A and B are shown apart, each in its own frame.
Chain A
Amino acid sequence: MTAPWDALREMLSHPFMAHAFLAGTFVALAAGLVGYFLVQRGQVFTGDALSHVAFTGALAGLAFGVSATAGLLVATLLVALALGVLGRRGRPDDVVIGGVFAWVLGLGVLFLSLYTTRRSGANGTAGVNVLFGSVLGLDAGAALVTAVVGLAVGATMLALARPLLFATMDEAVAAARGVPVRVLGFAFLGLVGLTAAEATRVVGALLILGLLATPAGAAVRLSARPLRALGISAGIAVGSVWVGLTASYAVPHLPPSFSVLAVATAVYALASAVSALRDRGRPFRPSVSDASATLADLHLGGSDVPDRSPRPADPSRSR
């Protein structure tokens, strides 16, 4: 029984694998938590836009001789907050988001050509690395920074989870009960930007959605209770990174970004099948009990509350 354990230890004795696991675990944790809200708030397209902005930011950083990481962070944070400003009257229109990021991507192409033609010592694979990730190339410092930022994003996300959940489920009621809905929306977009930049290091700019949308989509299908689904989402994301990295280590031709996303997609397909089978027993989804589960989670935090009828305004309990 010790053989798998020894194999695991052998794998982690390679510094590049240890770094990849360190960075990947915490990025996945952050992405799983952020992604759940992204899906519930209907803002997956924003994540999609940020993935393209991440590409442009990283290449701008390279083209102007600053580091790719700096360009990445600045670009995703700025655009995430700009989308928040655009969305002042509700949420930004998909067409507006699409138009903006289509152009940003064009700028990225310009930076790519500037970088590969002007800089003689340029790394020819830089473009591909930014697009599809290079998690096995992280050094100790970069891996540590990535892990710390991922942990910070995850912790902030957990701290904000309840009010943000409230604002997501019913914005008007949340605002009426004193939840700072707009500030929360802004803070959330900032966290999405930070996560997009981080995830670019691990799976690449083009594949960010695989960590943001896929585990969250699976979790939403598996559980209607927000706090439990939040945990499932983070769990699937972290598990996908672990299994994916291990698979890439075992099969050298498999790029790690691919195997991580393949695992996540397989879990998503499985979750969809399970929920479809489960729904077949019931003629329709009982949306009322979904709502009461949501409220139970919001007010009491417990997921094992016996069936409560939704009591939206109960002044004795709210303070």
Chain B
Amino acid sequence: MDDVTFTWNLLADIQQMWALPFMVNAFRAGTMVAVLAAAIGWFMATRGQAFAGHTLALVGFPGAAGAVLLGLPVTAGYFAFCAAAALVIGTVGPGRGRAEESALIGTVQAFALACGFLFIALYHGFLSGTSALLFGSFLGITTEQVRVLAGIAVAVLAVLALLGRRLLFASVDPGVARARGVPVRLMDVAFLLLLAAAVASSALITGALLVFALLVLPAATAQQITARPAIGLALAAVLALVTVWVALTVSFFTPYPLGFWLTSLAFGLYVLAAGSRALAQRLPRRPGRSAGSSPRVRPSSPATGGSIAPGAGS
């Protein structure tokens, strides 16, 4: 990549970048991963399951390392381990209080990572492969993997669209949801499995350690801006898309790693949103002056409850 230079002619830059097949694949995969991670991440943040999400993301690493050790496809390893961890967390964890549940999640995470370390220690010649598994690499994405990713993304998003209303209801108020006939326990396990599928596919491009940035940051940014579920989900997806596209482009033209640009961009957007919201709250709000900012919905507004409760039980 020594011969590529950035010019301010953006069209020429993109042409130069997309002349390389692996970059086209990286953009395709990145686009799907961004939408998937943002949508699932929005629910994760709403449900307060950041720790579980982070753990599932990390569990992809031993899965991939184990698959490499056994000579199986890396994708299969990611999915098998993430799904198994989701089942453990979803079935053993609940019912004993938050403290013990978090201890269980921490144990699953640490033990899974230790297994990953064992696998790479058993597999000789591990160094370059390890950092690709942990920190991602946009160089090696094959067309085959793009196809698999597309299938998974469509499947996960379809299930999410199907369950979305009831899942949201169960997340915001589990007690009332249960009373209205929503199978809350089943929803919990189903959501963890969706989360596992999303992080396993994202890990292919961002690596196991950085999936979490795509999950949590666009969703958190969107929730700073709006509390409306539909708008928030769309906004999170757009933010994630912009983040991934810009990060891929910048890391193509600079010697610094993709993971750094990805997390920095996403975090920058979050700080911007949180900062401007804090500023807007600080300013005195007088009815005549603030016509421009009044339509914005604050998280404490009743919009969330009002828009999901009707029809959710049927």
Chain A residues within CB distance 8 Å of chain B: 39-42, 44-45, 47-48, 52, 94-100, 102-103, 105-107, 109-110, 112-113, 117, 124-125, 127-128, 131-132, 204, 206-214, 216-217, 220-221, 253-255, 257-258, 261-262, 264-265, 268, 272
> Are B117 and A98 in touch, CB under 8 angstroms?
no
Number of interface residues of B (CB under 8 A): 56
- Among B113, B121, B210, B262, the one with the most A-chain Cβ atoms within 10 Å of its Cβ is B113
> Are A213 and B106 in touch, CB under 8 angstroms?
yes
Tell which of B126-134, B146-154, B192-200 binds the partner: B126-134
What's the dominant secondary structure at chain B's contact region?
A: helix
Residues of A within 8 A of B27 (CB): none
Whole-angstrom distance between the Cβ of B254 and the nearest chain A Cβ:
11
> Are A110 and B113 in touch, CB under 8 angstroms?
no
> Are B103 and A216 in touch, CB under 8 angstroms?
yes
Chain B residues within CB distance 8 Å of chain A: 45, 48, 50-51, 53-55, 58, 92, 98-100, 102-107, 109-111, 113-115, 117-118, 120-122, 126-127, 130-131, 134-135, 209-210, 212-213, 216-217, 219-220, 223, 255-257, 259-264, 266-267, 270
> Are A124 and B114 in touch, CB under 8 angstroms?
no
Whole-angstrom distance between the Cβ of A129 and the nearest chain B Cβ:
11
Which residue on A lies nearest to B127, using beta carbons?
A: A124
Which residue on B lies nearest to A131, using beta carbons?
A: B134
Give CA–CA (A47, B260) in the complex, Å. 22
Given A44-B105, A113-B256, A255-B117, are A106 and B110 also a contact pair (CB < 8 Å)? no
Residues of B within 8 A of A106 (CB): 210, 213, 259-264, 267
Give CA–CA (A106, B260) in the complex, Å. 4
Residues of A within 8 A of B115 (CB): 258
Give CA–CA (A168, B149) in the complex, Å. 45
Give CA–CA (A258, B107) in the complex, Å. 13
Given A44-B102, A210-B110, A210-B111, are A105 and B51 also a contact pair (CB < 8 Å)? no
> Are A109 and B210 in touch, CB under 8 angstroms?
yes
Give CA–CA (A231, B56) in the complex, Å. 31
Give CA–CA (A207, B256) in the complex, Å. 27
> Are B51 and A262 in touch, CB under 8 angstroms?
no
Given A103-B263, A261-B114, are A95 and B45 also a contact pair (CB < 8 Å)? yes
> Are B106 and A44 in touch, CB under 8 angstroms?
yes
Q: Which of A48, A100, A132 contacts B106 (CB 8 A)?
A: A48
Give CA–CA (A110, B247) in the complex, Å. 14
Whole-angstrom distance between the Cβ of A267 and the nearest chain B Cβ:
10
Q: Which of B103, B127, B261 contacts A39 (CB 8 A)?
A: B103
Residues of A within 8 A of B53 (CB): 98
Residues of A within 8 A of B255 (CB): 113, 117
Give CA–CA (A128, B209) in the complex, Å. 13
> Are B213 and A217 in touch, CB under 8 angstroms?
no
Which residue on A lies nearest to B261, using beta carbons?
A: A106
Which residue on A lies nearest to B131, using beta carbons?
A: A127
Supply 19 further A-B pairs (C-beta < 8 A) apart from A48-B54, A210-B106, A265-B110: A39-B99, A39-B103, A45-B50, A95-B45, A99-B217, A105-B259, A107-B264, A112-B135, A113-B255, A128-B126, A207-B113, A210-B111, A213-B102, A213-B103, A214-B107, A217-B100, A217-B107, A262-B111, A265-B111
> Are A214 and B110 in touch, CB under 8 angstroms?
yes
- Among A106, A209, A257, the one with the most B-chain Cβ atoms within 10 Å of its Cβ is A106
> Are B99 and A109 in touch, CB under 8 angstroms?
no
Given A207-B113, A214-B103, are A94 and B50 also a contact pair (CB < 8 Å)? yes
Give CA–CA (A259, B217) in the complex, Å. 34
Given A110-B256, A113-B256, are A42 and B99 also a contact pair (CB < 8 Å)? yes
Which residue on A lies nearest to B111, using beta carbons?
A: A265
Give CA–CA (A40, B98) in the complex, Å. 9
Residues of B within 8 A of A261 (CB): 110-111, 114
Residues of A within 8 A of B110 (CB): 206-211, 213-214, 261, 264-265
> Are B102 and A98 in touch, CB under 8 angstroms?
no
Which residue on A lies nearest to B45, using beta carbons?
A: A95
Which residue on A lies nearest to B121, using beta carbons?
A: A255
Residues of A within 8 A of B55 (CB): 48
Whole-angstrom distance between the Cβ of B153 and the nearest chain A Cβ:
21
Which residue on B lies nearest to A52, using beta carbons?
A: B209
Residues of B within 8 A of A221 (CB): 100
Residues of A within 8 A of B113 (CB): 132, 206-207, 210
Give CA–CA (A212, B121) in the complex, Å. 24
Whole-angstrom distance between the Cβ of B159 and the nearest chain A Cβ:
23
Which residue on B lies nearest to A111, using beta carbons?
A: B260
Q: Please name the 5 residue pairs, one residue from A and one from B, whose CB atoms are nearest each other, closest first.
A: A106-B263, A217-B103, A213-B106, A210-B110, A103-B267
Residues of A within 8 A of B127 (CB): 124-125, 128
> Are B270 and A109 in touch, CB under 8 angstroms?
no
Q: Which of A94, A132, A268 contacts B107 (CB 8 A)?
A: A268
> Are B48 and A258 in touch, CB under 8 angstroms?
no
Residues of A within 8 A of B257 (CB): 109-110, 112-113
Whole-angstrom distance between the Cβ of A31 and the nearest chain B Cβ:
11
Give CA–CA (A292, B260) in the complex, Å. 51
Residues of A within 8 A of B262 (CB): 106
Residues of A within 8 A of B259 (CB): 105-106, 109-110
Given A102-B266, A131-B134, are A109 and B260 also a contact pair (CB < 8 Å)? yes
Residues of A within 8 A of B263 (CB): 102-103, 105-107, 109
> Are B102 and A128 in touch, CB under 8 angstroms?
no
> Are A253 and B213 in touch, CB under 8 angstroms?
no
Whole-angstrom distance between the Cβ of B284 and the nearest chain A Cβ:
22
